[in-house]
Structure 1
Amino acid sequence: MLQARLYAAAHAMQQRDARALLAEHPALLQGRPGDLVLDVGCGPGCVSAGLLRPAAAGRLVAVDSCPRMVEHARRTYGHQDIVFEQFDITEELTPEKRARLLPGAADGFHKVFSFYCLHWVQEQRQALRNIMLLLRPGGKALLVFLANCPVFTMYEVMSSKSLWRPYTQDFLRFVSPYQYNPQPAATLGKMLRDVGFKVTHCECRPCSFEYSSTQQLTDSLMAVNPFLNRIPEELKHSFISDCISEAMKLMSAKPTGGYESSFHTDDVTP
């Protein structure tokens, strides 16, 4: 997910769902003096700065594995109350890395949030274990990510085409680990408990999002397309057109000229 500026301008769905989930858990946004908050997979920083800052009355640390996203977030939302750091949640959590994220002798974050990030992570158990290790005893977490989605099906379709196969043959690296799982919530819930979480709520819920136009659909899909930078410049237009054509087949056309995408999210409150 390297198109930081495009993603920042075209992630209405992610902001909508983050806002809705936070509204369901208002207590998590009530920051107390000294609260430390972690945002895992902050992307370009919009949700961190716009929605999560009230949850941290002490310090908000927002991390992402993509340096371009972190650079964009620092440049756009730099503030004394928010620290943006490059960090991969699947990294080995050494004492040095833990100290880099946590100030002083803090024994962990009071709250951890993650919105639309963890479906990019194949090493689910390691990511969840690290989140557990970064939480202080009695800390709270709110995680939401895609269980299955037409976009991932589109990646699979593109990988089956001879023209695009050389650039997309590793498509499974970029597909949610739960895409083909008939019981994603049960699988995730067990994994959370295995790494030490007390799970308050774990649900796979149906969702939908309507793209108002073909252009909005194009911008949203290309902002997160992991293959775009691999495509030779002379083939990019054809690749984008083919991606959008296949995506439209997987969505419902609306009378207004837009397209509705139906998908499922895993919503977790450990």
Structure 2
Amino acid sequence: MFNPTLYVKQNQLQRRDVGLVLQDMIHRLQWNQEEHILDVGCGPGDITTSVLSNYLPDDVTIVGCDISENMIKYAQDTFGSKRFNFKQLDVGNSNIWMNWEEESFDKIFSFYCLHWVKDLKQAAENMNTLLKKGGELITFTPVSHPFFELFKKIYNDPKWREQMKVMKTYDALYRGFDHDQYLETLKATGFEILSAEVREWSYSHASMEQFLGSYTTFDNALFGNFVETQKSS
């Protein structure tokens, strides 16, 4: 969905928010030696390796996974090492166990990912199965975002309808994210909720160029035509 090269240049918001979440949450976790960590929805791997890893013990090993083959190739080529490994995974797919082992991770982190997943129940079941007994899941997911509201308005404007026709493929842009239902799904799939909060944060782009740049990280099939047309209009 995203262009990895552009995404690492335009993900300041995600980097900030992940840092804020970890600052608040990391002291609540208990650690053993040489834990195995999974980052679900790692994208190009820069946040996994330069933000998440800064809050983890030095002796952990970290696997980043993402549905995008493009992202995983970029992450493994750029950041793959003895400590960091990157593998493709559609966390919402039931047929993953030929390539993944049950109960293989001590902790799972997921940031800015689960709102894209169509089958959230399956994703929760998979993450529960991937965790060792007593393992912990830490997630951060936008409940609402001006980003999504903006694209709904653009899609409903006849002027841009043709350029935005692929939008329906990415249903997370218009279906929203039900926080309460998410918690119920986690409980139904075997998780015990230790902490759940909804917070309101704001973010200001430094310039119009940066603002537009944050949208061009999407696949050009979705938004490239819109951005180029708007720039020239």
Q: Sort the TM-score into its range (normalised by shorter chain).
A: 0.7 to 0.9
| Equivalent-residue separation in structure 2 for 1:23 and 1:207 (angstroms) | 15
1:229 aligns with 2:221: yes
> Gapped runs of 5+ residues in structure 2?
none
**1:61 alignment counterpart:** 63
Amino acid across the alignment from 1:41: G
Alignment of 1:62-101 (within 5 A): 62-99=64-101
Residues 36 and 57 in structure 1, CA contact (< 8 A), matched pair in contact too: no
- Per-residue CA shift, 1:26-45, capped at 9, x if unaligned? 23777532311000000111
User: Cα RMSD between the aligned structures?
Assistant: 2.6
Find the residue that maps to 1:204 and give its secondary structure: coil
| Equivalent-residue separation in structure 2 for 1:205 and 1:241 (angstroms) | 38
Find the residue that maps to 2:199 and give its secondary structure: strand
- Per-residue CA shift, 1:65-109, capped at 9, x if unaligned? 11111111112212111111111111224432223xxxxxx7321
Shift of 1:236: 5.4
Residues 22 and 28 in structure 1, CA contact (< 8 A), matched pair in contact too: no
Shift of 1:205: 1.6
**2:121 alignment counterpart:** 125
**1:192 alignment counterpart:** 186
| Equivalent-residue separation in structure 2 for 1:160 and 1:153 (angstroms) | 11
Task: Give me the TM-score of the superposition, normalised by structure 2.
Answer: 0.87
| Equivalent-residue separation in structure 2 for 1:180 and 1:77 (angstroms) | 32
- Do the aligned partners of residues 55 and 134 (structure 1) sit closer, same or farther apart at CA in structure 2, a change above 3 Å counting? farther
**1:160 alignment counterpart:** 156
- Do the aligned partners of residues 96 and 19 (structure 1) sit closer, same or farther apart at CA in structure 2, a change above 3 Å counting? same
Task: Give me the TM-score of the superposition, normalised by structure 1.
Answer: 0.76
| Equivalent-residue separation in structure 2 for 1:75 and 1:16 (angstroms) | 24
Amino acid across the alignment from 1:126: Q
Q: Percent identity?
A: 26
Q: Which has the higher strand share?
A: 1
Number of aligned residue pairs: give it.
231
Shift of 1:22: 0.8
